[in-house]
């Protein structure tokens, strides 16, 4: 049998296997099973005849490599053709298992503007996943962050398609180099839902979709992504994840994607019960899925269930459509080497995390944390008495899609990655000494502890030199779906404010935090505010009374140690924001790469003097994409653009004129002064480079741009180019010229 012989090419092996498969066996390759069950539970279902080994087993509960090998063994040795299974899980910033490394959330990684860190992290993730027995992950998430109310925004790299695409592509390449299929998600237009509510309709036109939302997926496909997961939401009245225009014409034909597409979990039921797009008929839905070139249905057996078999047998559905889907799935499984090496050596799962991995989580956070305000209080050069307060003061706020034992299966209370992560108070006590740090949370994300708050006020007035307020959001919970809402124990004493299915109608810190802050700001101690979790969080009301503000994102295993080092001055902050933080929820949607007409009156008002634009508020955001301070000062000068062989060499001089050796990320933007019939973006990121400068040192930083860096989606939805002058912008410098 050719398909079992590695001397034959992959296409030859695929066609040989396909020719041997019955229709039932083909349809089994178009299904995913598992989800909320352990491998052993699934095997019991199979042995009882309640389930089958389908194309993929997906899990995010605790397991062992032995259990995953048993799933694979059943697929390979106890089925007629021995087709190995995908063993899949999530991997947004590390897999949500008890055993793998949790990295800082994607916003922190992107805020480093250092692609080498993404490359290193992805290889570690891939190695860990492979050792456990996985061969597929639903990662990277290359949605565009457009609405801070949306609970899943903490999973995103940022609001800029170029930046998101570059980081996503590095994750794709690293994972797949380690034998793990990367499945990019959520295609397409998922991340700007109506009202900020997950699964909400996306009000996005085709041009906006192509200009902003599509490029990150295109970049990942160019990098070789083998899988795509579609999305739940509708766009312009049609569920985008099953729309033949986006799924077939654009994804398959325009972008040339040849891998397999899997539905997001439970999309079949959502199409029936929520979108109400068809009658409750597997006939209709199966045809729609096939027309959209969807290859695997997860985790259900409805659209591609018994009715699909009847339609094929009756001739109503062409068998070649089934063959095409199965061919894609089998091709990827052969590419991953699953037919030749289906099993992994059994390991001690808790020995998978390495010192190298832990140190990388520290490095990402040290380079990604963003200093947004500093009145001179930081760094704390001298010995200080620190009062640590806030709902994130005694936990490691890791970001969404992680394994939390209290919210999943109750196991590994002290041994899982989340339990091993350094908590905020541990990092500060280790750094500044137990005698110099007192910890009083004073609140969680729901309630104020009045007794602790009274004690904190006394300490702030009589003992503390500085208050460190560990605030922001809470992503500790069971991710997604009805299980998350019904079974998440964190919801009993507290609230999950950031995760799949946990959206908010505001972007400010929660009421309990506001109460604690208002009380403590009246004391003599200055406040350093830390915003944890990667979801955008506004502190407009508090900002004037904050002495220093650091955006920490989801912290990762060793990230709190990096934050303590930044505050102590042992690390100079160098991260830059990858998304805009609005002043209030009323500014949403707001992003830096906007069109020129927003806020055209330039007469914003305030409470003392009414204006136009916003009558009682500034139209500018609280913080913008690219914002980020340092303990040193950088000066930019001599921006030049030189045309060389149809390319454009951009150079700029960057000088460290401050008192610290430090890193700086140089961001290059392009803009057009005029397009034909289509409004240009004010500016868009087209290149970036992270550099290190010692104090007193200067460097000429160079970039190469091409005509494509000024391209836009024209009136006819095809690529167009400016016909008038264009510009290059770096920091506050600008050069205008004609291409």
Catalytic residues: 203, 264
699 by Cβ neighbours in 10 Å (0-12 / 13-18 / 19+) ranks as: middle
Q: What are the distances in angstroms from CA 425 to CA 362, 374, 417, 708?
A: 16, 22, 17, 49
Best CA proximity match to 239, nearest among 207, 195, 193: 193
CA 397, distance to chain mean position in Å, is 15
Alpha carbons within 13 angstroms on the beta-carbon side of residue 712 total: 26
Q: Which residue has the tokens 């997926």?
A: 217
Best CA proximity match to 390, nearest among 419, 420, 418, 425: 425
Q: Which residue has the tokens 């052993």?
A: 40
Best CA proximity match to 660, nearest among 692, 625, 695: 695
The two beta strands, 56-59 and 86-90, are parallel
Residues 479 and 93: beta-carbon distance below 8 Å: no
CA distance 155 to 141: 7
Q: What is the 3-state secondary structure (H, E, C) of 575-625?
A: CCCCCCECCCHHHCCCCCCCCCCCCCCCCCCCCCCCCCCCCCCCCCCCECC
Q: What are the distances in angstroms from CA 644 to CA 669, 686, 699, 736?
A: 19, 18, 21, 17
CA distance 617 to 605: 5
Q: Which residue has the tokens 């109506």?
A: 194
Residue-wise DSSP of 253-315? IIS---SEEEPPTTHHHHHHHTS--S-S-HHHHHHHHHHTT--BB-S-SSTTSHHHHHHHHHT
How crowded is residue 720: how many other Cβ atoms within 10 Å of its Cβ? 17
């Amino acid at each position: 049998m050719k398909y079992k012989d590695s001397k034959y090419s992959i296409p030859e092996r695929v066609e040989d296997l396909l020719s041997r498969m019955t229709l039932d066996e083909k349809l089994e390759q178009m299904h995913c099973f598992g989800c909320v069950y352990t491998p052993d539970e699934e095997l019991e279902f199979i042995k009882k005849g309640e389930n089958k080994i389908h194309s993929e087993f997906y899990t995010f509960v605790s397991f062992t490599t032995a259990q995953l090998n048993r799933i694979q063994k059943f697929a390979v040795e106890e089925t007629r053709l021995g087709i190995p299974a995908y063993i899949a899980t999530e991997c947004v910033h590390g897999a949500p298992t008890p055993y793998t490394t949790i990295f800082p959330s994607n916003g922190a990684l992107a805020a480093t503007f250092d692609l080498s860190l993404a490359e290193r992290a992805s290889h570690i993730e891939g190695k860990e996943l492979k050792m456990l027995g996985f061969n597929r992950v639903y990662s990277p998430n290359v949605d565009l962050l457009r609405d801070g109310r949306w609970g899943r925004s903490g999973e995103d790299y940022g609001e800029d398609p170029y930046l998101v695409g570059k980081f996503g592509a590095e994750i794709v390449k690293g994972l797949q180099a380690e034998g793990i299929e990367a499945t990019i998600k959520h295609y397409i237009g998922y991340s700007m839902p109506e009202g900020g509510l997950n699964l909400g309709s996306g009000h996005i036109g085709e041009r906006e979709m192509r200009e902003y939302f599509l490029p990150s997926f295109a970049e990942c496909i160019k990098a070789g992504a083998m899988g795509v997961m579609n999305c739940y939401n509708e766009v312009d009245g049609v569920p985008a994840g099953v729309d033949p225009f986006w799924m077939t014409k654009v994804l398959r034909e325009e972008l040339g994607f040849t891998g397999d597409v899997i539905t997001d979990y439970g999309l079949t039921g959502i199409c029936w019960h929520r979108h109400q797009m068809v009658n409750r008929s597997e006939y209709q839905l199966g045809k729609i899925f096939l027309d959209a070139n969807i290859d695997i249905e997860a985790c259900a057996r409805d659209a591609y269930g018994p009715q699909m078999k009847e339609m094929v047998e009756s001739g109503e559905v062409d068998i070649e459509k089934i063959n095409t889907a199965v061919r894609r799935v089998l091709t990827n499984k052969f590419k991953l080497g699953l037919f030749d090496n289906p099993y992994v050596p059994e390991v001690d799962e808790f020995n998978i995390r390495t010192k190298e991995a832990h140190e990388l989580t520290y490095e990402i956070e040290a380079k990604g944390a963003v200093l947004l305000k500093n009145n001179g209080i930081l760094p704390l050069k001298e010995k200080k008495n620190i009062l640590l307060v806030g709902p994130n003061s005694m936990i490691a706020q890791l970001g969404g899609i992680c394994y939390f034992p209290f919210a999943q299966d109750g196991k590994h209370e002290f041994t899982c990655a989340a339990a091993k992560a350094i908590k905020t108070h541990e990092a500060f006590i280790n750094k500044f000494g137990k005698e110099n740090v007192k910890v009083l949370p004073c609140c969680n994300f729901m309630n104020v502890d009045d007794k602790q708050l009274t004690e904190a006020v006394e300490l702030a007035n009589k003992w503390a030199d500085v208050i460190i307020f560990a605030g922001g959001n809470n992503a500790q919970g069971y991710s997604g779906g009805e299980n998350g809402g019904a079974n998440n124990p964190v919801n009993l004493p507290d609230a999950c404010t950031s995760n799949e299915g946990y959206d908010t109608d505001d972007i400010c810190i929660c009421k309990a935090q506001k109460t604690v802050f208002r009380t403590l700001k009246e004391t003599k101690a200055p406040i350093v505010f830390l915003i944890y979790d990667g979801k955008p969080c506004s502190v407009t009301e508090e900002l004037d009374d904050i002495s220093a503000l650091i955006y920490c994102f989801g912290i990762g295993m060793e990230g709190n140690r990096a934050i303590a080092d930044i505050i102590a001055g042992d690390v100079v902050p160098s991260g830059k924001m990858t998304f805009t933080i609005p002043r209030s929820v009323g500014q949403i949607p707001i992003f830096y790469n906007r069109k020129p007409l927003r806020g055209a009156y330039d007469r914003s008002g305030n409470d003392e003097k009414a204006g136009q634009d916003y009558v009682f508020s500034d139209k500018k955001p609280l913080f913008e994409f690219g914002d980020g301070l340092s303990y040193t000062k950088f000066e930019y000068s001599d921006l030049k653009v030189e045309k060389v062989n149809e390319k454009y060499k951009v150079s700029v001089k960057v000088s460290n004129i401050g008192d610290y050796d430090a890193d700086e990320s140089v961001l290059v933007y392009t803009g057009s002064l005029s397009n034909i019939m289509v409004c240009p973006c004010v500016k868009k990121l087209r290149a970036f480079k992270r550099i290190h400068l010692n104090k007193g040192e200067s460097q000429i930083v160079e970039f190469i741009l091409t005509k494509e860096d000024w391209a836009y989606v024209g009136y006819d939805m095809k690529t167009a180019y400016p016909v008038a002058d264009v510009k290059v912008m770096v920091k506050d410098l600008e050069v205008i010229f004609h291409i």
